[in-house]
């Protein structure tokens, strides 16, 4: 057991935060923490920055810390955050007891985070136990993604979900876990505009129905739509009312929405096989209705999902799907795309990326996703300034292997000659507003002959030398003659 001096050194690891910590920000973004609806406890809150920010935002919350807030409340809460606490505890048994105590206080979900080996490759200090004693007298136990997940699940006896590198969520109830997974998988949908006389006449009345179908791809059931009674009094059944909407707005958009929602559910059910596929009773009621309306039954949907999952082991099928993908920069051994477009990929590629995300979670700043076509792997690549810089340099990347599972972090931030991006427009969907600006620069560079030997310009030094030799420079996303050329 550590002595008093060793324990007191832990207080030095607390940070004065200027924004929400990453685990708490993810919990807010994922809908785990909702102002006015969720109670929150920061277990090991340090100086309490997360607690104060959430409180100002209307969240009912408290924070406890053995050094900085020993008198803080330790009460059961909907969501409990154990943020970067376990990695500063020297004694393995105390570490496990801390995790168990935090889990006991969580009514809905526990968020656990720890520092990663890849985040601190240059951490210096003397080996102490299973970690490092730093020059400041603090202790740090660094984890790999696989190690942290295994430790959490072994200690608590329940499975966990990867929210990000070094961040996992453990749910108290299966239905809450499924809601979280579906929310993460879902994507925004375009809503059909109201038009013509019928929709003009009943605009306010029909808006909730149109929004519901635009979100779920099906008609409401039971009490899912508060305005159901009013619509039926004016226009008959919901089916008749929406048939009128389809006659006015056309079938194409609604068929597309239904198809997209069906694909979302197939991908969700396929990915659920990697944990434990939820039984119908474990699903949110609305999701059960979605599955029955879109597939006929839960069993039929699972059969389709299993057929989709079986294709994951067929690399030829993966390559064919990449060739047919409506977006992405296709190279012989990889498909690159912007993370914004993941929801538009063919289902088998969405499953492939989804499996990797189950292992690694959300990777901050990784705007570019690389689907490897020569092996089962997915990379998450960080190109700072991708929207503003014409040819941004690669700063870091996570490579997630799918068979076998594994994560490899690569840091390019100190490379004098890092890889750079070209033809950025190919990463984006056709309707992305950034695509036109990126494509205009590519056309200028092609006309200038800068892509005559594309294999030699993938790195920063070679590209800059080529620009100088041709007497050109890039400003923003425009090519111009260099001064004095």
pLDDT of 246 > 90? The answer is no
The model carries a pTM of 0.76
The whole-number average pLDDT for the span 352-375 is: 93
Residue 317 burial (10 A CB sphere; 0-12, 13-18, 19+):
middle
The whole-number average pLDDT for the span 305-334 is: 92
Looking at residue 317, its pLDDT comes to 93
pLDDT of 411 > 50? The answer is yes
Residue 167 tokens read as: 């961040």
Token look-up 């294709």 returns 311
Strand partners, 379: 370, 399
pLDDT of 230 > 90? The answer is no
Q: Quote the DSSP letter at residue 75.
A: -
Q: Quote the DSSP letter at residue 190.
A: P
Cβ within 8 Å of residue 465, ≥6 positions away: none
As a whole number, the mean pLDDT across the chain is: 87
Among 4-8, 209-213, 236-240, 275-279, the minimum mean pLDDT is found in: 4-8
Q: How far is it, in rounded angstroms, from Cα 177 to Cα 40? A: 17
Looking at residue 61, its pLDDT comes to 93
150-159, 171-180, 225-234: range with highest mean pLDDT:
150-159
pLDDT of 190 > 60? The answer is no
The whole-number average pLDDT for the span 75-90 is: 94
pLDDT of 449 > 90? The answer is yes
Q: Which of 305, 291, 199 is nearest to 244 (CA)?
A: 199
Cβ within 8 Å of residue 216, ≥6 positions away: 261, 286, 290
The whole-number average pLDDT for the span 245-250 is: 82
Residues of the chain with CATH 3.40.50.150: 4-172
For the stretch 83-123, pLDDT in tens is 999 988 999 999 999 999 999 999 999 999 999 887 665 66
pLDDT of 250 > 70? The answer is yes
Q: Quote the DSSP letter at residue 413.
A: T
Among 66-70, 177-181, 199-203, 468-472, the minimum mean pLDDT is found in: 199-203
Q: Which of 42, 88, 84 is nearest to 61 (CA)?
A: 42
pLDDT of 192 > 60? The answer is no
> Could you tell me how many residues make up the chain?
485
| Higher-confidence position of 197 and 466 | 466
pLDDT of 195 > 50? The answer is no
Looking at residue 121, its pLDDT comes to 55
The whole-number average pLDDT for the span 301-305 is: 93
Domain 4-172 belongs in CATH node 3.30.70.270? no
Q: How far is it, in rounded angstroms, from Cα 128 to Cα 48? A: 28
Q: Which of 18, 24, 30 is nearest to 82 (CA)?
A: 24
| Higher-confidence position of 247 and 24 | 24
Cβ within 8 Å of residue 292, ≥6 positions away: 298
- Is residue 274 within 8 Å of residue 197, measured between CB atoms? no
Looking at residue 199, its pLDDT comes to 62
| Higher-confidence position of 278 and 350 | 350
Looking at residue 485, its pLDDT comes to 61
User: Which H helix or E strand runs over 338?
Assistant: strand 334-338
| Higher-confidence position of 266 and 275 | 266
pLDDT band at residue 197, thresholds of 50, 70 and 90? Answer: low
pLDDT of 476 > 80? The answer is yes
- Helix 238-249 crosses helix 252-272 at what angle (to 10 degrees)? 120
Residue 193 tokens read as: 């505009």
Q: Which of 11, 1, 2, 5 is nearest to 70 (CA)?
A: 11
Q: How far is it, in rounded angstroms, from Cα 40 to Cα 194? A: 41
Looking at residue 281, its pLDDT comes to 85
| Higher-confidence position of 371 and 18 | 371
* Coil, strand or helix at 4: helix
- Is residue 42 within 8 Å of residue 81, measured between CB atoms? yes
């Amino acid at each position: 057991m550590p002595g008093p001096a060793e324990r007191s050194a832990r207080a030095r690891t607390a940070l004065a935060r200027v924004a929400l910590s990453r685990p708490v920000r993810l919990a807010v973004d994922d809908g785990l923490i909702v102002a006015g609806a969720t109670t929150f406890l920061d277990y090991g809150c340090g100086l309490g920055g997360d607690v104060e920010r959430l409180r100002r935002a209307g969240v009912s919350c408290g924070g406890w810390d053995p050094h900085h807030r020993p008198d803080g409340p330790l009460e059961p809460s909907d969501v409990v955050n154990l943020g970067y606490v376990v990695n500063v505890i020297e004694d393995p048994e105390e570490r496990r007891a801390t995790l168990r105590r935090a889990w006991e206080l969580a009514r809905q979900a526990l968020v656990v985070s720890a520092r990663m080996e890849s985040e601190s490759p240059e951490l210096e200090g003397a080996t102490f136990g299973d970690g490092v004693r730093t020059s400041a007298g603090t202790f740090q136990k660094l984890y790999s993604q696989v190690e942290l997940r295994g430790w959490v699940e072994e200690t608590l006896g329940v499975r966990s979900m990867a929210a990000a590198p070094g961040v996992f969520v453990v749910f108290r109830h299966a239905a809450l876990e499924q809601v979280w997974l579906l929310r993460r998988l879902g994507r925004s949908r375009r809503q059909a505009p109201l038009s013509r006389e019928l929709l003009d006449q009943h605009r306010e009345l029909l808006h909730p129905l149109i929004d519901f179908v635009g979100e779920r791809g099906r008609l409401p059931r039971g009490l899912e739509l508060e305005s159901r009674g009013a619509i039926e009094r004016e226009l008959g059944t919901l089916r008749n009312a929406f048939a009128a909407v389809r006659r006015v707005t056309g079938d194409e958009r609604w068929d597309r929405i239904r198809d997209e929602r069906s694909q979302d559910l197939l991908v969700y059910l396929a990915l659920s096989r990697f944990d434990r596929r939820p039984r119908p009773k474990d699903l949110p009621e609305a999701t059960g209705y979605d599955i029955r309306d879109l597939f006929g039954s839960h069993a039929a949907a699972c059969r389709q999902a299993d057929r989709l999952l079986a294709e994951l082991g067929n690399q030829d099928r993966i390559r064919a799907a990449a060739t047919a993908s409506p977006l992405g920069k296709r190279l012989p051994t990889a498909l690159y795309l912007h993370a914004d477009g993941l929801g538009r990929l063919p289902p088998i590629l969405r499953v492939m990326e989804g499996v990797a995300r189950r292992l690694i979670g959300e990777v901050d700043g990784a705007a570019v996703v690389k689907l490897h076509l020569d092996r089962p792997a997915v990379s998450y690549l960080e190109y700072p300034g991708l929207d503003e810089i014409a040819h941004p340099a690669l700063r870091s990347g996570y490579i997630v292997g799918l068979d076998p599972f594994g994560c490899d972090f690569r840091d390019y931030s100190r490379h004098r000659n890092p890889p750079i991006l070209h033809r950025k427009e190919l990463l984006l969907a056709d309707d992305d507003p950034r695509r036109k600006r990126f494509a205009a620069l590519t056309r200028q560079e092609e006309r200038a002959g800068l892509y005559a030997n594309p294999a030699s310009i993938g790195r920063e030094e070679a590209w800059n030398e080529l620009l100088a030799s041709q007497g050109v420079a890039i400003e923003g996303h425009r090519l111009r003659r260099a001064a004095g050329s």
